[in-house]
Every structure is written in C-alpha cells, then in structure tokens.
Chains A and B, each alone.
Chain A
C-alpha cells in the first residue's frame, strides 16, 4: 500500500504542496520475540520539490506515537508513618510511547498554533478529561505520567536529533525501549518553514509479539484455563523431572 502511495507521489506531479515528503523506514514492523531487547528505527526520507530551494530554511519534525490507553495515576502520602496511595486521577488516554524528534529547538521548528493544531508535543498527546472534584492540582498528575515515562525511555524529546542535508535529505533514529507495548505506532513527519507546516506525511509501524510470545500472550487471554493448566503441568513436570534426575545421579 505504501509503495503505491510512493509511486503515485512520484508519477503525479505535486497537486497541492510545492514540497512533499518521500519517506523511508528501516522497517515498518517491529517483532517482539523472546529475545527482544529494544529496537532502533531509522526514519529517513527526502523532500521532493518542483521549485528551487527557498531562502528560508526548511525544518523537519517527526513524531512516533504508540497506542493510547487509560492510565491511573496514584499519589502517595504519609499516613501513620508509612507511604500509602491516597489520591488518584484517571488519565483517559496516554500514549504508551511517544517520541518527538526535530531539526532544531522546538519553538524555532514549529509555532505554538501549529503545535496545538497537530497535537505534536507529549503533553498535547495526553488526554485528560478532568480530575475528581477533590483534587485541585490535576496538572501534577499529568506531569507525573510524562516524568515517569520519560524516565523509562517511553517518552522522548529529541530536539535537534533530525539531521537535514542540503535542505532535502533528512534522517533520524528512534530508540524503541524493551518495555514496548503492542500495537500500531503512528509516525508523522512535518516539514515546516518559519514555524508553519508546509507539508506532512503519516505512516504506521506495526509493533507486535511474534512466535512464542504471541502464542503465550493470546493463550493467556483467550484460554486462561488452558494456560493455567499448562503452567501447572510445566511446574509438576519440572519438579518431578528434577527429583528423578538427581536421584538417578545419586544412585548411579
């Protein structure tokens, strides 16, 4: 499908935008196998244009967004000398992964209005409808989501990490950590000039468990009874096997 779009883009002269993105990905699927330990994705491409390069420099902004899930954020407080979860806020949808890579400082690459229109930054990607009445500083809870996930490498702000050659060729590497969630990772590329978006392109990276990982995960959700019995069978077999093996070693 993507190839068709690519070919179309090459065949048809640009209809609307004067500058367009031609995109490449080092891979469009990420397989979580038993030995999965994170992955690098190389996102690269070129700017196709029908006109001479303009004076004002082009900037590139790339976002990669993982599937969103609701998240409960809990705050600890000291009660009777120990730290206990007290207040909690449910954030309606927070992406499980979010990376923003740019060619330069954020405010130089994209204007505030464009950032808001395209929901580019991490805080714009998190949707929170509102905290319960008794919680006054709900922003702290949203900030906590960003802080904790940044620490785990799940949210990444990569200012200046996109390299752009000759105003035409761009590339960046996004580091996907090992604790990745399955799903469709939407990748967006924006070309901007003077803070305004001149062209954008969207594609998908499919992150999925494969092989044994997929089989076990699916089994545990769809056939929990079978899965449980299998877990027990393995345990009993291992226990019996070990006992027999060592008895034989002792005797023989």
Chain B
C-alpha cells in the first residue's frame, strides 16, 4: 500500500508507517514516554525530509499525549497549577526553538543541530537511567535492607523568590525553576520534534522535587500544549506538517500504546527502566555513528522554499 505524502513529497509504504507508529506507540505505552525521540530518527531513515519529520513528529505527540493524559485526569494525577507554570515557560521556549530552527535551516546546519541534540540528550539520559536502574536492580536483589525513605531536602530551588503554592504536588516554591525547565523542554520540542518527557520527568523529580505519582500526568499535560503550539508554528512558518504522514503514525501509535500499556503492567518497573535505557542508548549510538563515520556522499542538496 504505497502512499504519496503530499507535504513530504515522497512515496512511502503505508503499512511501514502504521508499523512504525505501532512500535513507537507500544514503547510509549510500556515506558510512559511520548516516543518522539524514536519516531523522528526513524522517519529520517525511511527518507522523510528532516524538517517534515520534526514538524510531523510534534503533531503525532499531541495525539499520543492527549490519549494518555485522559487516563491521568481520571486518576487525578495532574497538577494543573504546576502544569500551567511549566507551560508558560514551554511556550516561550518553543517560540525560541522555532527561531533557532528556521535560522539554522537557512544556513544549512539544522541537520547537524538536530542530530547533535539527539546524541547529547539521549546519551546523558540513557546513561543516567541505565546506571540508576542497574543499581536499583542490584539493591532489590540484596533483599529489603529496610532503607528509610529520604526526607525531601531543601535546596537552592527553595530559596528563590516569586513563591507559589502547588497543591497537588504538595510544594511551596518559586516559579522560576519550573519556568526554566518548561523553556528548556520547549526549545527541545521545537528543534528535535519531541515532547521532551524524557527531560521533563527527571527534571520534575530531581530539580522540582515533585512526587513521582503526579510527574507523568503533569508532564503529559504541558507536553500537549507545547507540541500543539510547535505544530502550529511549524505549519505556519515552514509548512512542513504532513497530515497524511501524521495520520498513519497516529493510527498505528494509538493502537500500539494501548497494547504497550498492557505489556507494561506485567513487567517489573526496574526491568522496564533498564530496557528503556538500553533502547535510548541504541538510538543515541546510531545517530552518533552517522555523525562520525564518513558519509557515502559528501554533498547534499536542499531546495530553498521547499525542504
């Protein structure tokens, strides 16, 4: 089932796209991540122009996050106040990201930037996650030694001004750190075509000290708006959102996500984390290799005004 994508202007096998969306959905259901960090490089591999892959990736994340956040709303694990503050930062970051993205598209370095971002962020996150979950697995095997839960510490984060109360998270803190975290994720969303959950979740736990149970719902809540905003910006400034491509990915993705959630429930949380970390590192290595190994052709074409 060959399908011609009207914006990407390439013809791709529709089943391949459904499968791709399905696999990414499966993983996002299993691990609770948006899967944007996988879908964008995968789209590069099948020949979708990078600018279209990034913009359409953002659109696809809107769908998967929306589907997931509904479940979190039902469980009341979304901190709307915190989400809104993060969102304010996210929108600023996203707008900045688009400016950077468009500038680099003009000078021909956007490919490099996107790839470098992937290598750096996936490398750091993958490695941290891997080390942590391996340690956790080892500790678990040593049986419960009765470790006392650590009391949340007051850090520099709590010394900043403009404090606000975040009821669902049980926090009373300055709005500056969440805004900065939101901005960072917004920039990444625009440049990498990802939701940024893999940055947001650790940042919320370790920097903002939020309880783990509200982290994923809140992160999803703000990701919907940031990726929706990014989609609009890409659609209006670059015209690179491909609805047909997005539709295939979304259809595959939503089905995959539901199956993934089922599988995820049967697996041990720590094993799941090791698997996810391994996956992140593999994608990172693949992208890194392409930067270092001499390309088959040193020349590349781009058509200004198109992509």
Interface residues, chain A, with chain B CB atoms under 8 Å away: 32-38, 69-78, 81-85, 88, 90, 140-141, 144-145, 147-149, 178-179, 181, 209, 212-214, 216-217, 220-221, 224-225, 227-232, 234-236, 238-243, 246
> Is B43 an interface residue when CB atoms closer than 8 A count as contact?
no
Query: With A and B bound together, what is the CA distance between A246 and B74 in angstroms?
Result: 15
Residue of B nearest to A220 (CB): B239
Instruction: Determine which residue in B66, B255, B295 has the highest number of CB atoms from chain A within 10 A of its CB, and name it.
Output: B66
> Is B213 an interface residue when CB atoms closer than 8 A count as contact?
no
B66 contacts A70, CB within 8 Å?
Answer: no
> Is B188 an interface residue when CB atoms closer than 8 A count as contact?
no
Report which of A35, A77, A209, A224 forms a contact with B239, defined as CB distance below 8 A.
Answer: A224
Chain B positions 248-307 with a Cβ under 8 Å from a chain A Cβ: 250-251, 254-255, 257-258, 291-292, 294-295, 297-306
Number of A-B pairs, beta carbon distance below 8 Å: 180
With A72-B303, A221-B239 as contacts: A144 and B4 at CB distance below 8 Å: no
Rounded to whole Å, the gap between the CB of A151 and the closest CB of chain B is 8
> Is B60 an interface residue when CB atoms closer than 8 A count as contact?
yes
A144 contacts B299, CB within 8 Å?
Answer: yes
With A76-B298, A83-B294, A236-B63 as contacts: A71 and B241 at CB distance below 8 Å: no
Query: With A and B bound together, what is the CA distance between A135 and B7 in angstroms?
Result: 33
Interface residues, chain B, with chain A CB atoms under 8 Å away: 1-4, 6-7, 9-11, 59-60, 62-68, 70-71, 108-109, 111-112, 228, 231-232, 235-236, 239, 241, 243-244, 246-247, 250-251, 254-255, 257-258, 291-292, 294-295, 297-306
Q: Can you list 29 pairs linking A and B with CB atoms under 8 Å apart?
A: A37-B2, A69-B305, A69-B306, A71-B303, A73-B301, A74-B301, A76-B295, A76-B298, A82-B292, A83-B294, A84-B109, A85-B111, A144-B297, A178-B4, A216-B244, A217-B6, A227-B239, A228-B232, A230-B243, A231-B246, A234-B247, A234-B250, A236-B66, A238-B63, A238-B67, A239-B64, A239-B68, A239-B70, A241-B254
> How would you classify the secondary structure of chain B's contact residues: helix, strand, loop or mixed?
helix
Rounded to whole Å, the gap between the CB of B186 and the closest CB of chain A is 17
Task: Return chain A residues, CB-CB under 8 Å to B6.
Answer: 209, 212-214, 216-217, 220
Task: Return chain A residues, CB-CB under 8 Å to B60.
Answer: 235
- 5 smallest CB-CB distances across A and B, nearest first, come from A239-B66, A228-B235, A242-B254, A178-B11, A144-B299
Task: Return chain B residues, CB-CB under 8 Å to A37.
Answer: 2, 4, 11
Other A-B contacts than A35-B1, A85-B108, 15 sampled, CB-CB below 8 A, are: A34-B4, A71-B301, A72-B304, A74-B302, A75-B299, A82-B291, A83-B298, A179-B9, A216-B6, A217-B6, A221-B239, A230-B243, A234-B243, A242-B63, A242-B258
